[in-house]
Structure formats: C-alpha cells, structure tokens
Amino acid sequence: STREDAVLLRVAMIGTGYVGLVSGACFADAAHCCVVCVDSNAQKIDALKRGEMPIFEPGLADLVRRNVQEGRLSFSTDLAAAVRDAQIVFIAVGTPSRRGDGHADLSYVFRAAEAIGKSLRSPGFTLIVNKSTVPVGTARRVRELVQRNCAPGASFEVVSNPEFLRQGTAVQDFMYPERVVIGMWENRFQRQHECTAFRSAPLHLHERRFVADTEPGFDTRKNAQTLMTQLYTPIARISGAPVLFTNVEEAELVKYAANAFLAMKLEFANEIADLCEVAGADISVVTHAIGLDARIGPDYLQAGPGFGGSCLPKDTRALARIAQELWRPCRLVETVIEGNEARKRRIAQRIALAVVGNSADMNHVYGRCIGVLGLTFKAHTDDTRDSPAVFIVRELVELGAKVRAYDPQANHREVHQILGEDVELVCSAQEAARGADVLAVLTEWPEIRQACDALGPEGLGSLMRHRVIFDARNLWRPEDWLHSGFTYHSIGRPTIY
C-alpha cells in the first residue's frame, strides 16, 4: 500500500557479491526496506535480473525471488541513480590482498566512495555505511573522498558496520547475528559528556553517547544513529543480538581481530594435530576435550589442510601489515600466517609421499594419477578464492602429477582460470577415483563422503589403481578403514595400513 511504501527505508547496496547480495536481500526481507543492489559487473546484474544467482548460498535464491516479487529488491548498474534515491548507501565492494605486500587493496572502496560523493542528493541527508572489511582509518578517507566530490548542499555521515557472515551459512548468519557492530564518529575529548538525545532509542543498545547536542555535527550523527537503529531493529529483535555502538576505529579493528583469532584457533589445532601424529594421539579426541572448556569453545578447532577462503588469509595479512605500520607488530598473527602457508605445502608433500610410498623420491610423482575430491575452501560454498585445495592441486601438478578433480559446486571456468588446463575436472567422485594412485579429500563436502560410502571400500578400490586415501578433512574415523585393503592417511591421527 502507498502508506506502507511511505515508511520503507530506501537502501542502495554498492557491490553485489557474497556480502552485498546477502545483506541486500536480508535487509529487504527482515527490515522491510527497499533495496537496490548495484554492481559494476553488468553480467552479474543481468543474471540477477533474469532470476539467476551469481553465487551459491543456501536459502539465498528463495529469499531473493520473494523480495523481488514483492517489490522490495531490485538490481542495477546505475550507481548514480541508486545513490540519489537512497537514504542509506552501503559500500560492500571487495578488499582483496594487494599483490606483493599483503595490504588490503582499497581501490574499489575509494572508487565507490568517489562515485557516491558525486551522486549524493542535494539538499538532503544520506548515510554512507562501510560494510567492506577495511584497515583502521579507511572510514576517515572515505569521508574525505565523499566530501571532496559531493555537491555543496549535500549532507552526509559515514559509519562503519563490519560484516561477520560466513559463506555457506550467510543468510542464516545475517538474520541471526551474534552481534551487530556500528562504528560512529567520536570526538575523543567528548567522551565524558553524556549526550541524552539518543535515550529514546527503541532497543536496549549498548551505546555510547557520541556528540553532545551543542557540538557541531550533532544532527548528522543523530540522523546516522537513528537510521542504523531503524534498519537493524527488526534483526536485533528476532535474533536477540546486541547492537554495539563503538567508535569507527574500534569497529574497523573488531573485524580484523575476530578473523585473526579464528585463524589462530585453526592454526593451533593444526599444530597440535602434527604433534598428535608423532605422539600417538588422535587430534579429534584432543580438540573435543579442549573444546568442552567454555573458555575455549569447540568451534574452529577442526584440523585440516590449512585455512583459506576469501577472508581469513587476506584479513590476517592485512592486520599484520596494519600493525607493522603502526609500530605495534602482532607477532602471533604473523606466525599464524607463516604457519598456514607452510602447512599447505606440507600437506601437498604428504599427498605426494602417499603416491610414491617407500621410495620417497618426489621425481616418482611424475605422471602418476591423483584423484582430488573437493576444491572449494570449505563445504557449502562455490568459492575457490585462496582455497587450500587449489593451492595443493597446483603443487601436485607442478610435481608432474595428473590430477583429476571433482567438486559439487566449484565453478569449472574459474578453476581453469586459476589452475590452467592441467587439471581435469570431472562430474562425480567415481570419475575422480578412476585410475587414481591416491584419492585426496580436500574439502569436507557431505556429498563426497556420501558418494564414497555408497561405493564402499570394495567399489572404490576397484576403480583405483592403488588403494590409498589421503583424507585431509578427517571425514572418516581411521577404524572405518581397518581390513579394507586401503592405506588410509588422515590429519593428526594414526595411519591405517
């Protein structure tokens, strides 16, 4: 109805990738706002307009379809028009690692900021929200860029709102976050001031008062807080998640610190797994037991081939660089990064050793056939960016192995772009196993386990040239392979011969 339309918030989402598309669809759905998702990639926008999803994410296709049908979600390449009509503009473009130095590449963010500045409504107020993961100080530079490019009468504010969703469970994570962090501008010396103007906020917010009502900038900051509160209230209500209002620097750091901590847990589990192998212990028993300690928790303790994906590697690298530049190096994070790189290489070597067996001569890998199950950096996503599986396959190919790989979701074109034509991509676990000297499990897809279980050791063994499995994800228990005729290698557990 028109009365309803009148109160809908109007949001523009700049960047329609994993974060932009999921956030846009979820805001449209939960917060009942009108969202235009913008992307400079016209193919992506065309596909979305045809109703095709550019990424695989459970529950996303239905959510997008419903909100498009109900008129709250649309797609466009026209950034200027979307920004002009919006009350809230999100920046959700990529911030990949800059080649060479590990710094976050902010060129996409800055280009978006300039374009947003040029298109701001004037007169009128627009809230610009940075959702991309960015180094401390970026919001300040975004604010300067917008200021330099906007029309004189335009009024705006920049806030920082890092995103914590995980690929594979992105929709669920967005709708039921564990916390929402919103970084606002603060004049440090004003911290003591209690500003009462925001007291009427509808939620129980863990908020700080940012600007006293006599200060310049009060109106835009109040507008910013009101709009963010309005946008997140439905999600906070449904999920019970706390909304933390912090300063901008804190919000920017929270995201990197959280990812670095998760990476550290994974690397820790991997180091302990290596120790288990020589000590005669089983890593799954050890991590289960330590994870029961509430101070440690069971998550991110799964030993494997090294962490990967589009976030943990690049965000740990970026945090290490930020810390070095601020003369407070984070040694722990630097060690985690080095440990993880070494780990991926070591797992590739262990697979190669499983091929050559007792000869231990890597030259003998040449021409041998390795079946690979899983290429994405984890299950339930189609993403192969910085995937340890892809790294390992490349190492094996460089040793001269013939690799035949299967993944239920990885995009074949993208994999060929990264790995060239040296890798044969097949459409089932059976085909990957056919003629293999070793079968290497590199991603924990349930489909992969199911396919192998359905064949059974006999069926699988009859397809392969040698009965050797290297399970880098501990999909099975070692004892499942006793008396199977297989050599079963896994991570941090005894090998079964």
Residues of span 101-120 touching ligand NAD by CB under 6 A: 108, 111-112
Dump strand ranges (E) for 67-169: 73-76, 88-91, 124-130, 154-160
Single-letter amino acid, residue 496? I
Single-letter amino acid, residue 448? I
Q: Per CB under 6 A, which region of 3-11, 93-101, 391-399, 472-480 contacts ligand NAD? A: 93-101
302 is in an annotated binding site: yes
Question: What number of chain residues touch ligand NAD (CB under 6 A)?
Answer: 28
394 binds ligand NAD (CB under 6 A): no
Single-letter amino acid, residue 483? H
d(CA 497, CA 486): 6
Indicate the residue among 94 and 305 with the shorter CB distance to ligand NAD.
94
Q: What φ, ψ does residue 150 adopt, rounded to 5°?
A: -90, 160
94 binds ligand NAD (CB under 6 A): yes
Indicate the residue whose CB is closest to ligand NAD. 17
Single-letter amino acid, residue 359? S
Of 13, 26, 79, 405, the one binding ligand NAD by CB under 6 A:
79
d(CA 119, CA 79): 8
CB 437, min distance to ligand NAD, A: 35
95 is in an annotated binding site: yes
Single-letter amino acid, residue 238? I
Q: Note if 34 is an active site residue.
A: no
- Quick one: 8 exposed, middle or buried, by C-beta within 10 A (0-12, 13-18, 19+)? middle
Of 9, 12, 13, 17, the one binding ligand NAD by CB under 6 A:
17
331 is in an annotated binding site: no
Catalytic position from the list 195, 276, 311, 330? 311
CB 445, min distance to ligand NAD, A: 18
276 binds ligand NAD (CB under 6 A): no
Neighbours of 166 (CB within 10 A): 16
39 is in an annotated binding site: yes
The β-bridge partners of 37 are 13, 75
**DSSP states along 250-313:** HHHHHHHHHHHHHHHHHHHHHHHHHHHHHHT--HHHHHHHHHTSTTT-STT----S---SSSHH
CB 131, min distance to ligand NAD, A: 6
CA dist 382 to 31, 300, 427, 434, 450, Å? 28, 20, 15, 24, 19
132 binds ligand NAD (CB under 6 A): yes
Residues of span 149-188 touching ligand NAD by CB under 6 A: 163, 165-167
Question: Please, what's the largest Cα pairwise distance for the chain?
Answer: 80
211 binds ligand NAD (CB under 6 A): no
CB 18, min distance to ligand NAD, A: 4
Under the rule (CB under 6 A), what is the footprint of ligand NAD?
14-20, 38-41, 44, 79, 92-95, 108, 111-112, 132-133, 163, 165-167, 310-311
Annotated binding site for substrate: 255, 300-304, 308, 378
